[in-house]
Each structure stands twice: as C-alpha cells, then as structure tokens.
C-alpha cells in the first residue's frame, strides 16, 4: 500500500499527465501530484471542501477541475481575504477546522493538506468524517519525521519541529493510518515523497516578525520571491511528506 517513489520518477509521471493551469504549484504545496489527480478522478465530485486552504495553491486546481459546489475554510480571515482575490467561484468561510459550520454528510471530496500536525488530530479526523458523504474521498498530507530528523524550530513542548506551530510530527505512516481508520476512513493509497524547503522561508518569516503588515505577510508569494523560493529548495534530511487518499466507509 505504501508507495515510496523517487523524486525523478514522480516528476516524469507528473509531466506526462495532462495538466491544469497553475498545477506546477502542487509539488511546491506539499502534496503528491499523482495522488491529487487520482483523488479527483476517483469519484464524481459534486461538492468539495478545501479544509485549511491557506493562500489557495491546491484550491486553484480544485476549482478548475469541478463544476459543483466548492467551499474553502481557513482560520485566518486575513488569509481568506487574499485568497478570495486569487480564486473565484468558491464559498469561503473563516472557521476553526475542528468545528466547521456545515451540516453532516455534505461533501464528496475534502482536501486537507499540512493541517493535521497543527491541531488535535483525532478531532480533525472526526470532523472530516462527519462532513464527508458515504464513500466520500479525503486527500490528506502531513509531515513524516524519520528517526534522527531535527530542525532549528521548537514547538511549545520544546520538541524540534519544522514549524513552531506543529503540535506533533508523525514518526510513521502507521500513526496516521491508525487515526484515520479508527474513525471510519479507509486508506486507499499512500505516497511518501521527499520534503523540500527553501532556506529563504525563515528570512521572510523574520521580516514579517519585525514589520508585521498585510504587505509583508504576502511578500513570500510575490512572483520574484516565489521563483527564488522554488529554485532554492533543498531536501530536508530525514523528513518526508505523507500524501494519502482515504475513503469514508460508513
């Protein structure tokens, strides 16, 4: 079930596929592009949710792919204000992802990338299960921290993490699988890919910490900054990305 592929093989498959406008951002967003397309093609999607949409990298492609109801949730109303200008035709809601203000069994498809490590994971998975229709599809990604991995940030527990807001970083795929399957979400496919990071990202965070404003918060997403960040990305030793497709059984 686990599909660990080399970066070169993944890119070859990726470039051979028909691509949506803007989907070169998918690899940059921290999700396996093949799983993204696989999830979108696995069912007829009439309603979809991006849970923790951020600045809308994956949401852009999701909106272009489906014709039905498309919703996006993020805790930050400031972030959503920016995303609304970038991705049209989406119903945006500023909300806690653990208490989404939608009725149960409403979505065919939910994408939730790089969020679960920031929140109570069991509560998040239960909320996703509540929102998904029967046989609905979840596309999820998170950080895999292998033995010996370390980084220069610390979370509030004093643990070395990739982001200071990470409550946890999973040490195995089994940890994620157990949480999902114990809450009625059956794993269908898993991919593990190298996690790359730009050394410029801490610089942009530092600028924002000194000069907090809407302008500096978006500085890292300017065209030149994006180009510099992408071209300078390097693999982080002993870290990887877990991308998976799960389906609601009940």
- Token pair 């982080």 is found at 236
Q: For the chain, what percent of residues have pLDDT higher than 90?
A: 53
Pairing of strands 132-145, 2-4: unpaired
Q: Are 117 and 169 in contact (CB under 8 A)?
A: yes
Q: In this predicted structure, what is the pLDDT of residue 203?
A: 82
Can you give the pLDDT at residue 116? Answer: 97
Tell me the residue length of the chain: 250
Q: Report pLDDT for 8.
A: 31
Residue 109: pLDDT above 70?
Answer: yes
Domain ranges of the chain: 2-196+236-248, 199-232
pLDDT at 221 over 80: no
Q: Which residue has the higher pLDDT, 114 or 20?
A: 114
Which tops the pLDDT comparison, 13 or 63?
A: 63
Q: Please write the tens of the pLDDT for every residue from 124-162.
A: 999 999 999 999 999 999 999 999 998 888 999 999 998
**The two structure tokens encoding residue 133:** 């229709």
Domain 2-196+236-248 classification at class level: alpha beta
Is residue 16 predicted with pLDDT exceeding 60?
A: no
Contacts of residues 52-56 at CB distance under 8 Å and 24 or more positions apart, as own/partner, are 52/97, 52/112, 52/113, 52/114, 52/115, 53/80, 53/83, 53/92, 54/79, 54/83, 55/79, 55/82, 55/83, 55/86, 55/221, 56/83, 56/86, 56/87
Q: Which two tokens stand for residue 111?
A: 């994408």
Mean pLDDT for 57-62 is: 87
Query: What is the SS3 assignment for 245?
Result: strand
Per-residue confidence band for 217, with pLDDT thresholds at 50, 70 and 90 = low
pTM for the complete prediction?
0.81
CA distance 47 to 78: 25
Q: Which residues, 6+ apart, have CB-to-CB distance to 179 below 8 Å?
A: 121, 122, 125
């Amino acid at each position: 079930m686990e599909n660990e592929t080399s970066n070169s093989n993944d890119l070859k498959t990726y470039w051979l596929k028909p691509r949506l406008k803007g989907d070169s951002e998918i690899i940059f967003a921290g999700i396996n592009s093949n799983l993204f397309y696989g999830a979108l093609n696995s069912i007829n999607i009439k309603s979809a949710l991006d849970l923790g949409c951020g600045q809308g990298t994956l949401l852009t492609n999701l909106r272009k792919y489906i014709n039905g109801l498309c919703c996006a949730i993020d805790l930050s109303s400031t972030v959503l204000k920016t995303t609304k200008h970038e991705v049209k035709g989406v119903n945006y809601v500023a909300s806690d992802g653990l208490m989404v203000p939608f009725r149960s069994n409403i979505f065919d498809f939910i994408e939730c990338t790089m969020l679960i490590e920031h929140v109570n994971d069991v509560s998040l998975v239960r909320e996703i299960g509540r929102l998904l229709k029967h046989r609905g599809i979840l596309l999820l990604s998170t950080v895999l921290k292998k033995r010996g991995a370390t980084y220069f940030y610390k979370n509030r527990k004093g643990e070395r993490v990739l982001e200071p807001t990470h409550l946890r970083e999973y040490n195995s795929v089994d940890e994620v699988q157990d949480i999902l399957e114990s809450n009625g979400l059956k794993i269908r496919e898993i991919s593990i890919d190298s996690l790359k990071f730009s050394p410029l990202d801490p610089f942009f965070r530092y600028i924002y910490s000194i000069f907090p404003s809407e302008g500096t918060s978006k500085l890292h997403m300017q065209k030149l900054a994006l180009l510099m960040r992408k071209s300078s990305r390097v693999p982080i030793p002993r870290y990887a990305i877990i991308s998976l497709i799960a389906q609601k059984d009940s």
